[in-house]
């Protein structure tokens, strides 16, 4: 199952995402938590130590994804390596076994 959480800033997206992720992982589900916020703080909300948060490396789209065109001309994204490898290389494992990846983040002032 994939759950995407989006909406207005300050509405509680990160809080509820982190709580749901840990709750489900604690029940034995395999949970991958992907932070796609330009100001990422899901890892901290999940309870990762500062050391683990520092270990997280932002995933650059082209490093793990490839765009392919379908027969009807639509663009689709595919992972270019096994997801476990992506987690090992860029992510971290937090409390309750939640696996975390940070997909975005500011590149710098005026850089988008």
Ligand X SMILES: Nc1ncnc2c1ncn2[C@@H]1O[C@H](COP(=O)(O)OP(=O)(O)O)[C@@H](O)[C@H]1O
Kindly list the residues in this chain that would bind Mg ion in the complex (CB under 5 A): 13-14
Query: Binding marks (x or -) toward ligand X, 15..54, rule CB under 6 A?
Result: x---------------------------------------
Q: Which two tokens stand for residue 73?
A: 């001309």
Select from 2, 4, 6, 10 the one that contacts ligand X (CB under 6 A): 10
Name which of 10 and 73 has its Cβ closer to ligand X: 10
Name which of 14 and 102 has its Cβ closer to ligand X: 14
Would you give the DSSP letter of residue 8? S
Select from 1, 2, 4, 9 the one that contacts ligand X (CB under 6 A): 9
Select from 12, 26, 38, 47 the one that contacts ligand X (CB under 6 A): 12
Select the binding partner of residue 82 from Mg ion, ligand X, none (C-beta < 5 to 8 A, by kind): none
How far apart, in whole angstroms, are the C-alpha atoms of residue 39 and residue 9?
11
CA-wise closest residue to 21 among 11, 32, 12: 32
List of residues contacting ligand X (CB under 6 A) = 9-15
């Amino acid at each position: 199952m994939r759950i995407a959480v989006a909406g207005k800033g300050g509405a509680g997206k990160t809080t509820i995402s982190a709580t749901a992720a840990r709750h489900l992982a604690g029940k034995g589900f395999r949970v991958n938590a992907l932070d796609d916020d330009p100001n990422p703080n899901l890892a901290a909300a999940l309870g990762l130590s500062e050391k683990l948060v520092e270990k997280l490396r932002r995933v650059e789209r082209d490093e793990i994804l490839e765009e392919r065109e379908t027969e009807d001309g639509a663009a689709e994204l595919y992972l270019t390596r096994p997801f476990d490898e992506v987690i090992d290389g860029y992510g971290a494992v937090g409390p309750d076994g939640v696996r975390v990846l940070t997909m975005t983040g500011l590149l710098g002032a005026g850089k988008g």
